[in-house]
Structure 1
């Protein structure tokens, strides 16, 4: 395999009339997935013990394997947020009664903990550290964000009529990183797709801009164009109207492609306690410290990948094209009105993705990225007239309960005599090494905090670029375990000057740096290693910086942002990085 393909080969459709842009997107996307793969195989040698290396997760660009029915396994989980069921079933049964608790669970999944708490005068909390039963502290139920609680790689928005009845539900499984790459290639294509997906010509390009605290578009240095806001007015929250709201792509912080790959790689390490390999899904998460306990997705992904290694003695990689894919609902869980002039299948539309893989390699089952439930124009019934598991359709989450989300893993026989790593649970080393969390232009960092994006990974999915033979100022580096004298190593031909430094807490630091590249520096990606002492072992993070040819980036008049973080912003960063 020479490149990673875009999810469900979607770039072939999104740029069907522009081969040049399609190729540009495909290459950028493949590089992004490659860097995610390399970093995921690296694991965490900086601040964890027994989490490096992850040699039983293979890179298919390096180690060839062809997916087929015999070596590829689908991994599926229910789309309804299971942490809602786990944490609140008993509480809601006690408060609302056995007849109504299930309805309230579905309502919470639709409207979120803040709106639900305000409506019913409840403070919804969960254990601060669910892996440690001795920790009696609590925290607000999350994750945060406009659909943060919909954390099973499935988010949805509901459209209602004036009477409050559901008239449409849009489900998305698309990772945000694809949309950031597409925006960098062609903002006009993104706008057109928004209009098509939402069936709404009111969507304007300016609606999708990331704005600064003064209401001005934040300009991306590498393009000279406004940055993309992933939680813009048309991809924001669980409700959709003609003037705002909607679900185009995933927004919950855990619902990213990078997290999916990292989790898959982490799960290839066998964890051993008292001589026994851990096989329980949630225990494995706590031992390996990946993902979130009690979700449907993370425990199932981790357990299935781990089982492939443990029970079948194969190396594993997520199957190309790597993505999260919705599956067709179990339509037998729906009951139509007796006089309905359509079947339930007629109310279901595939908006993006494909019912079947049409690519050149094997991929099991459905490859659905975006689907919609709505009745045909001449239907003699409404969605609210349909029963789902014997209950009237009131909430989009009732539909989410009827289908699964999927990824797939492809196994590869190891070299003769090679055995998988068997490590104890991860721990904290005696000495931690400085590590890079994010590298991005400081204007993007500042704007992401102002807009409360809750994650920086979306902004940094497009690699930061600098030209050969130039000095680029105003670059922010968020690090852990660093000191003011920490050194930066991008390799030959690239030097760094620290222009400002800020300790955010005892473990988190912000550097503002300028990057100077020699005129003759080799072009391409430059992994970054941080070191507190020259004698420390060096581990590089890939995919943070790329040197491009002189003159290939636009000339802008923008002044580099040298602003440090306020106390409020520091708290935001600590929340994001915790």
Structure 2
């Protein structure tokens, strides 16, 4: 395999009339997935024991294998947020009665914990550390964000008429990282796709800009154009109107492609206690410290991957094209009204992005749906609200999420007689090493935190670029377990000097650095290692910096940003890095 393909080969469709841009985004996307793969294979040697290396997760760019039916396994889970069911079924049964509890669970999945708590004067808390049954501390139900609670790699927005009846529901499974790469290649294409997906010509390019605290667009140094805000007014929240709201791509902090790949790699390590290998889905998460227990997705992905390694003795990689794919709903769970007059429920379902079957030449199991919509066909004389879902009138978009699944796939190769890695549960190492969390221009970091973009995939997934023979100032590095004297190593020809330092608490730090690339520096990606002493092992993180040829980037009259973080921004960092 020469490259990773875009989700559902979507770039071929998005840029079918712009071949140069198609090649550009396909190459950038493949590089991004490659770096995610390399970092996921690395695991966490900085602050965890028994989580490095993950040698049973292979890189298909290095170890070529052709996915076929006999070596590729679909991994599926329910699209409805299972943590809502786990934590609140009993509470809602007590408060609202058994007859209404399910309806209230669906309502919570649609409107979110803040609106639900306010409407019903109820406090929604969950166990702070569900892996520790002796810890009785609680925290507000999350994750945070405008659709944070929709955390099964499926998010949706509901459109209602003036009577409050549902007239459309949009479901998205698209990762935010692909949209960042599209924006870097062509903001105009992103705007056009927003208008097409939402069927709304009111979407303007400036609506998608990331704004700073003074309400000015933040300019991306590498393009000279405004940065992208992934939780802009048209991709924000779980309701949609002609004036705002909608679901274009995923926004919840756990719903990122990087998290999916990292989880898949982490699950290839077998975990054993007292000589017995752990096989329970939630116990595996607690032992390996990947994902969140009681979700549908994380436990199912981890358990399935782990089982393939344990029982089949195969090394695993997520199947190309790596993405989260919605599956066709179970249409038998719907009952059409008499007024439908010959229309079938399938007539109300439309795939907006992706495909119901694999459009590529390589094998990929089942459906590859990235975005779908439920709405009544034009000219029909019935409403969605007249349809029954599992014998109940359609009141909430989450009722539809209850009857379809989300999927990824894994492709295995023989272990070659090797014994799978078998480690104890993840623990604390004897020596904690400094590690890189994020590297990006400080102006982007400042605005991202001001806008409460609360996860890496919602900051930016595009690699930071600098020109050979230049010094680039005002680069922010969020780190953990570092100190003022921590050294930076980008490899030969690249020098970093610290100009500002801020201790953020909770073992997190902010460095503002200048990076100088010598004129003869080798072009390409530069992994970064941090170290506190010369004797520290230099474990690198990939995909944070790229040296490009002199003259490749626009010449801008931009002052470097050396502003340190405010108290509010520090609190936001703590949410991200907790």
User: Same fold by TM-score, threshold 0.5 exceeded?
Assistant: yes
Instruction: Note if contact 2:127-2:138 (Cα within 8 Å) is conserved in structure 1.
Output: yes
Rounded to whole Å, the distance in 2 between the matches of 1:13 and 1:123 is: 46
Q: In the alignment, is residue 390 of structure 1 matched against residue 391 of structure 2?
A: yes
Match of 1:410 in 2: 411
Rounded to whole Å, the distance in 1 between the matches of 2:312 and 2:455 is: 36
Match of 1:128 in 2: 128
| Offset at residue 458 of structure 1 (A) | 3.1
Q: In the alignment, is residue 352 of structure 1 matched against residue 356 of structure 2?
A: no
Match of 2:570 in 1: 570
Instruction: Note if contact 1:161-1:167 (Cα within 8 Å) is conserved in structure 2.
Output: yes
Match of 2:446 in 1: 446
Instruction: Note if contact 1:5-1:320 (Cα within 8 Å) is conserved in structure 2.
Output: yes
- Please show how residues 86-235 of structure 1 align to structure 2 within 5 Å: 86-235=86-235
Deviations 1:533-576 (A, max 9, x none): 01111100000000000000001111111000111211110111
Deviations 1:412-446 (A, max 9, x none): 0122x311100000000121000000000000000
Match of 1:505 in 2: 505
Q: In the alignment, is residue 548 of structure 1 matched against residue 553 of structure 2?
A: no
Match of 1:279 in 2: 279
Match of 1:304 in 2: 304
SS in structure 2 at match of 1:99: helix
Q: In the alignment, is residue 327 of structure 1 matched against residue 341 of structure 2?
A: no
- Please show how residues 237-386 of structure 1 align to structure 2 within 5 Å: 237-341=237-341, 342-386=343-387
Rounded to whole Å, the distance in 2 between the matches of 1:177 and 1:191 is: 16
| Offset at residue 506 of structure 1 (A) | 4.3
> Aligned pair in 2 of structure 1 residues 506, 147: CA closer, same or farther (>3 Å)?
closer
SS in structure 1 at match of 2:317: strand
Instruction: Note if contact 2:176-2:457 (Cα within 8 Å) is conserved in structure 1.
Output: no
Instruction: Note if contact 2:251-2:458 (Cα within 8 Å) is conserved in structure 1.
Output: no
Instruction: Note if contact 1:478-1:510 (Cα within 8 Å) is conserved in structure 2.
Output: yes
Instruction: Note if contact 1:438-1:460 (Cα within 8 Å) is conserved in structure 2.
Output: no
The runs of 5 or more residues in structure 1 that have no matched partner are none
Rounded to whole Å, the distance in 2 between the matches of 1:193 and 1:493 is: 41
| Offset at residue 339 of structure 1 (A) | 3.1
Match of 2:480 in 1: 480
Deviations 1:281-329 (A, max 9, x none): 0000000000000000000000000000001000000000000000000
Instruction: Note if contact 1:180-1:459 (Cα within 8 Å) is conserved in structure 2.
Output: no
Rounded to whole Å, the distance in 2 between the matches of 1:477 and 1:547 is: 17
Q: Considering only aligned residues, what root-mean-square deviation do their CA atoms show, in Å? A: 0.6
SS in structure 2 at match of 1:132: coil
Aligned residues: 577
Rounded to whole Å, the distance in 1 between the matches of 2:171 and 2:40 is: 28
Instruction: Note if contact 1:315-1:413 (Cα within 8 Å) is conserved in structure 2.
Output: yes
| Offset at residue 460 of structure 1 (A) | 3.1
Instruction: Note if contact 1:58-1:315 (Cα within 8 Å) is conserved in structure 2.
Output: yes
SS in structure 2 at match of 1:28: helix
Rounded to whole Å, the distance in 1 between the matches of 2:460 and 2:263 is: 19
Rounded to whole Å, the distance in 2 between the matches of 1:299 and 1:441 is: 35
Instruction: Note if contact 1:280-1:303 (Cα within 8 Å) is conserved in structure 2.
Output: yes
Instruction: Note if contact 2:349-2:372 (Cα within 8 Å) is conserved in structure 1.
Output: yes
SS in structure 1 at match of 2:99: coil
Match of 1:49 in 2: 49
SS in structure 2 at match of 1:100: helix
Instruction: Note if contact 1:448-1:456 (Cα within 8 Å) is conserved in structure 2.
Output: no
Rounded to whole Å, the distance in 1 between the matches of 2:181 and 2:7 is: 12
Instruction: Note if contact 1:445-1:456 (Cα within 8 Å) is conserved in structure 2.
Output: no
Rounded to whole Å, the distance in 2 between the matches of 1:569 and 1:192 is: 33
Instruction: Note if contact 2:40-2:266 (Cα within 8 Å) is conserved in structure 1.
Output: yes
- Taking structure 1 as the reference length, the TM-score comes to 0.99
Q: Which runs of 4+ in 1 moved over 6 A?
A: none
Rounded to whole Å, the distance in 1 between the matches of 2:7 and 2:456 is: 21
Match of 1:70 in 2: 70
Rounded to whole Å, the distance in 2 between the matches of 1:414 and 1:360 is: 26
Instruction: Note if contact 1:41-1:58 (Cα within 8 Å) is conserved in structure 2.
Output: yes
Q: In the alignment, is residue 538 of structure 1 matched against residue 553 of structure 2?
A: no
